[in-house]
Amino acid sequence: MTYAGVQTKVLTLLQGMSEFDTSNSAESDFRLLAHGKAQYGVILKGATGIAGKSGQLDASNGNYEYQRRDDYTVEIHVFRSFTTDVLATRAAVTSLADAVEAHFDKYPDLDSYSGIIDSRIDVVGEADEWTVGSGTYWRQVIELKVVELSTV
């Protein structure tokens, strides 16, 4: 697989949630925030590769195959429209991030996606405020770390 395939699969899984669909979630497209929805999800490319983890030689049963390991990070940015009540907005974006985290915890292999052997999701830092056009949002960044093995 490729990073692009993994990122597209993550978007498909995100859109499988009741909170997201094609009108409020996309890959690398912040223009969605102008559509007047209460919440959004934007998938962005994160880091690739981890030092010292490139692969392994499998010599079992006389086979000499090299298992290549690829590590990908997919960033899931969730946005919630800002309301006049700061605490309510913060609770809403936290609840949305928690729902995304719980959803992806059900799919450690990204729903049996080819070559994916594991994934882990982490909420990163504090939510922050974004203003786009006339809209103000709270954003929470979530990192999905994905491990893929392939035979070379």
Query: Binning pLDDT at 50, 70 and 90, where does residue 149 land?
Result: confident
pLDDT at 3: 79
Q: Using CA atoms, how far apart are residues 142 and 17, in angstroms rounded to an integer?
A: 16
Measured torsion, CA atoms of residues 12, 16, 19, 20, in degrees rounded to the nearest 10: 30
Q: Give, in order, the Cα–Cα distances in Å from 126 to each of 13, 38, 64, 76.
A: 24, 20, 47, 14
Contacts of 3 (CB under 8 A, 6+ apart): 45, 48, 70, 72
CB 68 within 8 A of CB 150: yes
Residue of 77, 97, 100 lying closest to 14 (CA atoms):
100
Query: Binning pLDDT at 50, 70 and 90, where does residue 94 land?
Result: very high
Q: Using CA atoms, how far apart are residues 150 and 87, in angstroms rounded to an integer?
A: 46
pLDDT at 68: 78
Report the share of the chain in percent with pLDDT over 70: 91
91, two tokens = 């609770």
Highest mean pLDDT: which range of 8-22, 65-79, 102-116 = 8-22
pLDDT at 86: 87
Q: Give, in order, the Cα–Cα distances in Å from 85 to each of 34, 65, 77, 90.
A: 21, 58, 22, 9
Mean pLDDT of all residues belonging to the chain = 88
Phi, psi (degrees; rounded to nearest 5) at 41? -135, 125
Q: Using CA atoms, how far apart are residues 101 and 99, in angstroms rounded to an integer?
A: 5
Query: Does residue 52 have a pLDDT over 60?
Result: no
pLDDT at 133: 75
pLDDT at 55: 65
Q: What is the mean pLDDT of residues 80-85?
A: 88
Query: Does residue 79 have a pLDDT over 90?
Result: yes
- Predicted TM-score (pTM) of the model is 0.88
End-to-end CA distance of the chain: 12
Query: Binning pLDDT at 50, 70 and 90, where does residue 103 land?
Result: very high
